[in-house]
Structure 1
Amino acid sequence: TTPKSFRDLPYRLAEFGTVYRYEKSGELSGMTRVRGFTQDDAHIFVAPEQLEDELEKTVELVLFVLKSLEFTDFRVRFGKRDPDNDKYGGSPELWDQAEANIRNVLTKMNMDFTEEAGEAAFYGPKIDFVVRDCLQREWQLGTVQVDYVLPERFDLSYTGTDGEPHRPIMIHRAPFGSFERFVGILIEHFAGNFPAWLAPVQARVLPVVDEVLPYAEEVYTQLKEKGIRVELDRRNEKIGYKIRTAEVEKVPFMLIVGKREAEDRSVSLRVKSQGDLGSIPLDETLNRVAEEASCPT
Structure 2
Amino acid sequence: MAVDEKLQTVRHSCAHVMAEAVLRLFPGTKIAIGPAIDNGFYYDFDFPTDTKFTEADFPAVEKEMRKILAGNHEFVRKEVSKAEALELFKDQPYKVELINDLPDGETISTYEQDGYLDLCRGPHVESTKEINQQSFKLMSVAGAYWRGDNTKAMLTRVYAVCFYKPNDLKDYLTMLEEAEKRDHRKLGIALDLFHLEPEDPGQVFWHPNGWSMYVTLQDYMREKIVKDGYLEVNTPAVMPKVLWEKSGHWSHYQKNMFTTESEKKQFAIKPMNCPGHLEIFNSRSRSYKDLPMRIAEFGHCVRNEPSGTLHGIMRVRGFVQDDAHIICTEEQIESEVTKFCKLLLDVYKDFGFDKNLLVKLSTMPEDHVGTIETWQQAEAKLAAACKASGMDYEIQPGEGAFYGPKLEFTLIDALGRQWQCGTIQLDYQLPSAERLNAQYIGADNQKHHPVMLHRAVLGSLERFMGILIENYAGVFPTWLCFEQVAVVPVAPDFNDYAQKVYEELKAAGIKVNAYLEDENMKNKIKDISTAHRTPYILVVGEKEKSENTVTCRFRFSSKIPQRTFALGEFKEYVLDKINTHFNGI
TM-score (norm 2): 0.48
Residue 212 of structure 1 corresponds to: 494
1:107 aligns with 2:387: yes
Corresponding residue to 2:425 among 145, 151, 157: 145
Larger deviation, residues 209-218 vs 248-257:
248-257
Which whole-Å CA distance do the structure 2 matches of 1:145 and 1:247 have between them? 43
Structure 1 residues 268-293: Cα deviation after superposition (integer angstroms, max 9, x where no partner): 11222353333222221122122223
Structure 1 residues 122-148: Cα deviation after superposition (integer angstroms, max 9, x where no partner): 211111111234554432211111112
Which whole-Å CA distance do the structure 2 matches of 1:144 and 1:127 have between them? 5
Which whole-Å CA distance do the structure 2 matches of 1:20 and 1:93 have between them? 36
Structure 1 residues 191-211: Cα deviation after superposition (integer angstroms, max 9, x where no partner): 111111011100000100111
Q: In the alignment, is the contact (CA less than 8 A) between 1:197 and 1:294 conserved in 2?
A: yes
Structure 1 residues 25-83: Cα deviation after superposition (integer angstroms, max 9, x where no partner): 2221111112222122211111222211111111122222222222244311111122x
Which whole-Å CA distance do the structure 1 matches of 2:563 and 2:331 have between them? 59
1:76 aligns with 2:356: no
Counterpart of 1:265 in structure 2: which amino acid?
A: N
Q: Secondary structure at the match of 1:175?
A: strand
Q: Secondary structure at the match of 1:149?
A: coil
Q: Secondary structure at the match of 2:464?
A: helix
Q: CA deviation at 1:6?
A: 1.2
Q: Secondary structure at the match of 1:201?
A: coil
Task: Using the aligned pairs only, state the percent identity.
Answer: 40
Q: In the alignment, is the contact (CA less than 8 A) between 1:270 and 1:276 conserved in 2?
A: yes
Corresponding residue to 2:544 among 261, 271, 294: 261
Structure 1 gaps, min length 5: none
Which whole-Å CA distance do the structure 2 matches of 1:126 and 1:141 have between them? 13
Residue 91 of structure 1 corresponds to: 371
Residue 281 of structure 1 corresponds to: 566
Counterpart of 1:293 in structure 2: which amino acid?
A: I
Structure 1 residues 165-197: Cα deviation after superposition (integer angstroms, max 9, x where no partner): 222111111112111111111111111111110
Greater relative CO (CA pairs within 8 A, separation 6+): 1
Counterpart of 2:523 in structure 1: which amino acid?
A: Y
Corresponding residue to 2:455 among 173, 196, 210: 173
Q: Alignment RMSD, CA only?
A: 1.8
Which whole-Å CA distance do the structure 2 matches of 1:25 and 1:283 have between them? 52
Q: CA deviation at 1:164?
A: 1.7
Which whole-Å CA distance do the structure 2 matches of 1:90 and 1:147 have between them? 10
Which whole-Å CA distance do the structure 1 matches of 2:412 and 2:563 have between them? 39
TM-score (norm 1): 0.92
Which whole-Å CA distance do the structure 2 matches of 1:244 and 1:179 have between them? 31
Which whole-Å CA distance do the structure 1 matches of 2:580 and 2:482 have between them? 13
Residue 59 of structure 1 corresponds to: 341
Q: CA deviation at 1:227?
A: 0.4
Q: In the alignment, is the contact (CA less than 8 A) between 1:202 and 1:293 conserved in 2?
A: no
1:47 aligns with 2:329: yes
Residue 245 of structure 1 corresponds to: 527
Residue 34 of structure 1 corresponds to: 316
Residue 504 of structure 2 corresponds to: 222
Structure 1 residues 97-117: Cα deviation after superposition (integer angstroms, max 9, x where no partner): 110110111122221211102
Structure (1 or 2) with the greater helix fraction: 2
Q: In the alignment, is the contact (CA less than 8 A) between 2:337 and 2:386 conserved in 1?
A: no
Larger Cα-atom Rg: 2
Residue 290 of structure 1 corresponds to: 575
